[in-house]
């Protein structure tokens, strides 16, 4: 039995223990409860999904410089103005205006095996046209720039160069395979033109074998002739390769009427909730509002934009007062110029703005897997410390990685951490830059989970920052 003195001692010891309990346990319970509220709200709201429906179905494809891109700017500005944010504004940026023109024609002709055979091609963004009559020439197939160089002018001049390097499907993350293959799309026309080629065909950037060609941006170089460049579907790339093995002298006919018009004034669309304590420290969440002119730009990147707006809606609806400013940025012209991302970084630098973190969603609206962080070791450790709070929601893949194209120009401005939201990558390149990137391909719940993931990380960074004190997560 305890006497009075012993009881007094035990109570005193207990009180001391409570007072010295690590703040981490208390913060874990509070932060866990807040994150649960974020997910509950996002998963029971249809708002972001319906916003995506309007963007894709009522406005549609939004190539920079197009009337649809202009409509998307005005619609998204009005959407955020209705949310009672602290500020919503447009940021001017001049963007390129490339137009595809007539539907492309691609056809094998004079083949000893099939005679004539239509093939699915799509002009690469920025490509010149072939002229009204089109062009035809023999085809030379290569799988690398080294192989092209070895052929030399003698074997390349006057021909169509067919770049046919496939994705390496041994990569678990399809973005890695994309990164290894996409140089032939971007630099192929320059390398081929230097050797006298008249045009370029590039195997579509996808790990699937499908009929659908994938567009994407290509480049030219001053002083090097600009030659037409088109993507060919992977199914027809395989067929063309087989035909060439048996009939190296076959010819390919292609017709494209694409052209580049003068630059057009457009805008980044920006909305924010100001921080309650450190309003000068900015946490950016964003995606790109423009898309290619085929399909509806749903996964690329309508989902990223609507998820970014959803972060602000969730904060507002739950009454979460972020300590640091949360800013949603819908960038213009990621696809064929990155002018919006560069302009944003330029203005931020001129204003002396302090970005703590920038979170970009530009990998589709699929099931969340985690985040890739381009920043310091200290910043990575800060995010890893929150893993017990994030893992219950499937966010287990937190590691050094790529932040994103639009936020990339911020690198080097102070100690900003560039963070790429990582959904499951396995299906993304089925739809990327194609006519089948439509609203119907986006799963509502997967998209909602992505928005909640971004909002949860933004909340934790707002509470604790990414240097110095971090959230305490011991249970």
Q: Is 47 a catalytic residue?
A: no
Q: Give the angle subtended at the CA of 394 by the CAs of 406 and 79, to the nearest 5°.
A: 45
Tell me if 386 sits within 8 A of 451, measured CB to CB: no
d(CA 29, CA 49): 30
Q: Give the angle subtended at the CA of 346 by the CAs of 344 and 347, to the nearest 5°.
A: 65
334 Cβ neighbours under 8 A, 6+ residues apart: 288, 290, 301, 340, 341, 362, 405, 406
d(CA 193, CA 189): 6
- Counts for the chain of helices (H) and strands (E), in that order: 14, 16
Q: Give the angle subtended at the CA of 132 by the CAs of 126 and 135, to the nearest 5°.
A: 80
Helix pair 303-318, 67-81: axis angle to 10 deg? 10
Look up residue 77 and give its two tokens.
Answer: 């500005």
d(CA 187, CA 281): 39
Per annotation, catalytic residue among 141, 334, 353, 463: 334
Nearest to 209 by CA among 138, 120, 111: 120
Q: Which active-site residues does the annotation give?
A: 334
């Amino acid at each position: 039995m305890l006497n009075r003195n012993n009881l007094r001692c035990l109570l005193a010891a207990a009180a001391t223990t409570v007072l010295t309990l690590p703040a981490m346990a208390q913060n874990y319970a509070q932060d866990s409860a807040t994150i649960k509220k974020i997910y509950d709200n996002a998963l029971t709201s249809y708002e972001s999904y319906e916003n995506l429906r309007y963007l894709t179905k009522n406005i549609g494809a939004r190539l920079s410089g197009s009337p649809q891109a202009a409509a998307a700017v005005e619609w998204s500005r009005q959407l955020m103005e209705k949310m009672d944010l602290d500020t919503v504004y447009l940021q001017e940026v001049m963007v390129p205006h490339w137009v595809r023109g007539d539907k492309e024609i691609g056809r094998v002709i004079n083949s000893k095996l099939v005679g004539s055979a239509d093939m699915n091609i799509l002009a690469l963004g920025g490509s010149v046209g072939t002229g009204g009559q089109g062009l035809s020439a023999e085809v030379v197939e290569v799988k690398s720039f080294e192989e092209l160089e070895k052929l030399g002018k003698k074997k390349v001049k006057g021909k169509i160069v067919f770049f046919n390097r496939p994705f390496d499907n041994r990569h678990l993350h399809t973005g890695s395979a994309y990164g290894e293959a996409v140089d032939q799309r971007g630099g192929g026309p320059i390398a081929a033109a230097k050797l006298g080629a008249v045009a370029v065909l590039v195997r579509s950037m996808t790990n699937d074998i499908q009929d659908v060609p994938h567009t994407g941006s290509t480049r030219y170089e001053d002083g090097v002739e600009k030659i037409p460049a088109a993507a060919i579907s992977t199914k027809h790339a395989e067929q063309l390769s087989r035909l060439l093995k048996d009939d190296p002298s076959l010819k390919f006919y292609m017709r494209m009427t694409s052209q580049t018009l003068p630059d057009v004034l457009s805008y980044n669309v920006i909305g924010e909730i100001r921080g309650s304590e450190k309003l000068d420290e900015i946490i950016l969440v964003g995606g790109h509002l423009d898309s290619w002119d085929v399909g509806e730009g749903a996964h690329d990147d309508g989902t990223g934009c609507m998820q970014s707006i959803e972060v602000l809606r969730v904060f507002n609806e739950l009454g979460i007062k972020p300590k640091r400013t949360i800013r949603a940025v819908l960038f213009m012209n990621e696809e064929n110029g990155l002018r919006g991302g560069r302009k944003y970084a330029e203005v931020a630098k001129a204003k002396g703005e302090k970005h703590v973190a920038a979170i970009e969603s530009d990998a589709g609206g699929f099931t969340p897997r985690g985040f890739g962080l381009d920043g310091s070791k200290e910043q990575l450790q800060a995010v890893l410390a929150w893993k017990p709070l994030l893992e219950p929601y499937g966010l287990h893949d937190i590691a050094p990685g790529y932040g994103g194209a639009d936020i990339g120009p911020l690198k080097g401005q102070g100690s900003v951490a560039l963070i790429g939201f990582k959904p499951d990558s396995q299906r993304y390149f089925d739809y990327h830059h194609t006519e089948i990137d439509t609203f119907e391909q986006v799963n509502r719940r997967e998209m909602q989970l992505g928005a909640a993931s971004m909002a949860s990380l933004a909340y934790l960074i707002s509470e604790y920052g990414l240097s110095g004190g971090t959230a305490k997560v011991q249970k």
